[in-house]
């Protein structure tokens, strides 16, 4: 297939970059190697201090469907994605990180999956990932299995509120979902969390349980690094009550309160959100905490993890 042969663009890929000269060429080449080629690529560089922007300009000169801009001041990846999202008017939008590599059929499978759904409602597609080191040597064949994530073909609002697990670098959305996302909440720490929540509340999530992205883990990752991946995390320490319980070390509370203010949410869904907010604010009694951990899926479904989390909560309340 030839690139952009006069047909209406089906999908826009949006990518943010910052000091990504080590891996950006491999990612760009994997985009150019896609079996589905009717796309455009928007990239905003966040004022890199290395050779990233020059590399991007090289590609822009070769391929007219690549559009690049550079921020005069650093905005961070969340605000970068927000401003890119505002520029897109194609049927689908795919989020892309600077240091991964895509399976050659990623776009093809994503679009085919979404075309089989009802595009009159908000749609979110996401997939599993291979976890690799900086040399793209596979460490884990499934990110989902490594993290004990389980995605069902039905609504899982409790899971999205807590563990989530939808990785932004695999995500593709339709215009209906795009129209609901902006503006991002001011306290948002990760755009993929917000996108997954809005899709779960008002649309449909399509989970593809096979890897379509080679997720490169290295020391400069925003969300994970080799150190954090290999670190053994103890859920509870008998000598340290300063341990932060899951999800209480990020700005989810403010994001969820803004969510409740901005959208008309069904009563049942609102109850689940408020229940999770009470946990974040340490307002739940023991009986409610048991329900929180074992009845709902805010946490990973791994039973050992749930037991340790419950012990940690008991110790914090002691």
Give the H/E segment covering residue 97: none
Which one is predicted more confidently, 158 or 218? Answer: 158
User: pLDDT tens for residues 173-215?
Assistant: 999 999 999 999 999 999 999 999 999 999 999 999 999 999 9
Which band of pLDDT confidence, cut at 50, 70 and 90, is reported for residue 234? Answer: very low
Tokens of 64: 């007219």
Q: Does the CA dihedral 222-175-264-295 come out positive or negative?
A: negative
What's residue 236's pLDDT? 40
User: pLDDT tens for residues 22-38?
Assistant: 999 999 999 999 999 99
What's the burial of 288, exposed, middle or buried (CB within 10 Å: 0-12/13-18/19+)? middle
- Chain centroid to Cα 36, Å, comes to 22
To the question of domain 11-216 being in CATH 3.30.465.10, the answer is no
Beta bridge partners of 131: 140, 215
User: pLDDT tens for residues 239-286?
Assistant: 345 556 788 767 899 999 999 999 999 999 999 999 999 988 878 887
Domain limits, the chain = 11-216, 232-317
Which one is predicted more confidently, 316 or 106? Answer: 106
The pTM of this model reads: 0.89
Cα 55 to Cα 102, 103, 221: the distances in Å are 19, 22, 20
Angle at 247 between CA 244 and CA 250, to 5 degrees: 90
User: pLDDT tens for residues 36-81?
Assistant: 999 999 999 999 999 999 999 999 999 999 999 999 999 999 999 9
Phi, psi of 229 (to 5 degrees): -65, -40
Which one is predicted more confidently, 167 or 243? Answer: 167
3-state percent helix, strand, coil for the chain, nearest multiple of 5: 40, 15, 45
d(CA 46, CA 238) in angstroms, rounded, equals: 43
**Across the chain, how many H-helices and E-strands are there?**
13, 9
Q: Does the CA dihedral 27-33-35-40 come out positive or negative?
A: positive
């Amino acid at each position: 297939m030839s690139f952009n042969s006069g047909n209406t663009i089906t999908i826009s890929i949006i990518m943010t970059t910052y000091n990504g000269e080590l891996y950006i060429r491999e990612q760009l080449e994997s985009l150019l190697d896609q079996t589905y080629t009717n796309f455009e690529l928007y990239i905003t560089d966040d004022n890199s201090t290395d050779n990233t922007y020059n590399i991007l300009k090289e590609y822009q000169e070769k391929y007219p469907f690549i559009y690049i801009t550079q921020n005069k001041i650093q905005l961070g990846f969340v605000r970068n994605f927000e401003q890119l999202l505002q520029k897109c008017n194609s049927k689908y939008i795919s989020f892309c990180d600077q240091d991964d590599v895509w399976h050659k059929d990623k776009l093809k499978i994503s679009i085919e999956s979404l075309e089989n759904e009802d595009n009159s409602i908000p749609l979110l597609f996401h997939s599993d990932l291979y976890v690799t080191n900086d040399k793209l040597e596979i460490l884990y064949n499934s990110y989902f299995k490594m993290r004990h994530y389980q995605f069902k073909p039905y609504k899982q609002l409790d899971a999205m509120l807590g563990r989530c697990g939808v990785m932004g670098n695999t995500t593709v959305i339709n215009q209906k979902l795009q129209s609901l996302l902006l503006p991002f909440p001011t306290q948002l720490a990760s755009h993929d969390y917000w996108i997954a929540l809005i899709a779960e509340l008002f649309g449909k999530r399509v989970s593809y349980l096979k890897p379509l992205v080679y997720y490169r883990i290295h020391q400069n990752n925003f969300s994970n690094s080799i150190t954090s991946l290999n670190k053994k995390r103890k859920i509870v320490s008998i000598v340290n009550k300063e341990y932060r319980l899951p999800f209480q070390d990020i700005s989810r509370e403010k994001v969820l309160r803004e969510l409740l203010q901005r959208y008309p949410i069904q009563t049942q869904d609102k109850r689940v959100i408020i229940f999770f907010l009470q946990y974040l604010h340490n307002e739940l009694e023991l009986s409610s905490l048991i329900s929180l951990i074992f009845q709902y899926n805010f946490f990973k479904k791994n039973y050992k993890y749930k037991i340790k989390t419950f012990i940690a909560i008991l110790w914090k309340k002691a």
